[in-house]
Amino acid sequence: MLQIALKMLTGDRLKYFGLIAGIAFAALLIAQQASILVGFIRQTGGFIRDTAQADLWLMDPQVRFSQDPVPMRDTVAQLARGVDGVQWAVPLFQGYTRGKLPDGTRITLILVGLDDATLMGGPPQMVQGELRDLRNDRAVLIDAVSSPKKLLMKQGGGRALTVGDRFTVNENEVQIAGSYEGRRSFFWEPVVYTTYSRALTLVPPERNQLSFVLLKLVPGADIARVRAAIERRTGLKTLTNEEFIERTGDYIASETGIIVNFGMAIALGFLIGTLVAGQTFYNFTLDNLRHYGALKAMGVTDGRLGGMVLLQALVVAVLGYCIGVGLAAATGKLMESSGLAFSMPWQIPAITAMAILGVSAIAALLSLRRVVLLEPAVVFKS
């Protein structure tokens, strides 16, 4: 009987493909929008990942995300260094500031100042030049990946800044000494690295200017104990890289409305998918109601008919899901080079599968109700 159910399903090609298309569309929308959302959230941690040599970040407890440092006293790094279990502790400056390109194009940039002595916290992958080139006079490093867009001289021929070019930061001239391979970031502003001391000369003076302290623990140190000791001694907060990425992602997700926007798109996908698939499947069942009636008259029980309808829904769901999620993954892959924020961890296909099963179950149950309530005497109507 299940084979008959499958033949009934595939017999009318147009309806069959319509059903699969409806489910595939829903799966595509859900998986794609969720993947873009996760991609965006993951990109919010790009700066932290680029600065990932440290085990811990020491910061003011009020820091909400990675681009929101609350200035601390310079002595904090020394206090942290004195805690047992800390291998090294280096200051890190990070802040938004203004720049001007040689053609007059004005930009806002994120300036990062690395510890002069160790250059700890620098980008992990250089493209041109070396990290130690930062020790050259007025030297800065730019992101090779994003600079063609973010450091574009819009006023002067459309050329992007490259190694060797000069530009100004708060009216102070700097020279690009090298470039690094930066991760894609949720934040639009270009990230420019320099040394800590030079960064302080480039930005307007403030009483406290230390943004973060990067901490490395001695191998085998009890991280919980060390964190507690640092926090006790400094009155500040320590976060691991992952915790800081999570805090940043949570803040962006909760404060920017991104979740609501993407959530609506995902919900819309679910709703449209449910309506399209539900309506199509319901119509399919209605069209076959007479045949279900004939089967019922000939001795097929409601339970068996239910099994047939559920099998039809399951087949459509599985095929639609595979096509939809496959298309979503392919779209993400194809648009990778365009900078699309797209990340599809295993949870997204899993959640999409549950959503699609839900869509199909709703469609099947609506149809099933008609089949169960069907009076087999309908077969005697001409």
Partner 1 sequence: MVETDTTAVRVAGLTKRFGSGEASVLALRGVDLEVRTGELLMLVGPSGCGKTTLISVLAGIMDKTDGALSVLGVDPSAMSVNDRTRWRGEHIGFVFQAFNLMPALTAAENVSIPLLIRNVPQTEALQRARAMLERVELADRADALPEQLSGGQQQRVAIARALVHEPQLVVCDEPTSSLDHETGRHVMEILHGMTRASRRTLIVVTHDARIFGFADRIARMDDGRVVAVEAGAANAVPASPTSAGQELERGRDPHLQVVPTT
Smallest gap, in angstroms, from Cβ of residue 143 to partner 1? 59
Nearer to partner 1 among residue 12 and residue 68 (C-beta):
12
Chain contacts with partner 1 (rule: CB under 8 A): 1, 3-4, 7-8, 10-12, 290-291, 293-303, 375-377, 379-380, 382
352 vs 323: CA distance, rounded Å: 12
Nearer to partner 1 among residue 12 and residue 74 (C-beta):
12
Nearer to partner 1 among residue 8 and residue 112 (C-beta):
8
Smallest gap, in angstroms, from Cβ of residue 125 to partner 1? 59
Nearer to partner 1 among residue 11 and residue 148 (C-beta):
11
77 vs 79: CA distance, rounded Å: 5
Smallest gap, in angstroms, from Cβ of residue 321 to partner 1? 24
Smallest gap, in angstroms, from Cβ of residue 278 to partner 1? 22
Nearer to partner 1 among residue 93 and residue 284 (C-beta):
284
Q: Which helix (H) or strand (E) holds 350?
A: helix 347-373
Nearer to partner 1 among residue 267 and residue 311 (C-beta):
311
8 Å CB contact between 316 and 359 = no
The answer for residues whose C-beta is within 8 angstroms of residue 325's C-beta and 6 or more apart is: 27, 28, 31, 349, 352, 353
Smallest gap, in angstroms, from Cβ of residue 4 to partner 1? 7
Smallest gap, in angstroms, from Cβ of residue 303 to partner 1? 8
The answer for residues whose C-beta is within 8 angstroms of residue 306's C-beta and 6 or more apart is: 368, 371, 372
Nearer to partner 1 among residue 350 and residue 377 (C-beta):
377
233 vs 63: CA distance, rounded Å: 18
Smallest gap, in angstroms, from Cβ of residue 309 to partner 1? 15
Q: Residue 111: phi, psi to the nearest 5?
A: -95, 130
The answer for residues whose C-beta is within 8 angstroms of residue 363's C-beta and 6 or more apart is: 274, 277, 278, 280, 281, 282, 313
210 vs 83: CA distance, rounded Å: 19
8 Å CB contact between 347 and 35 = no
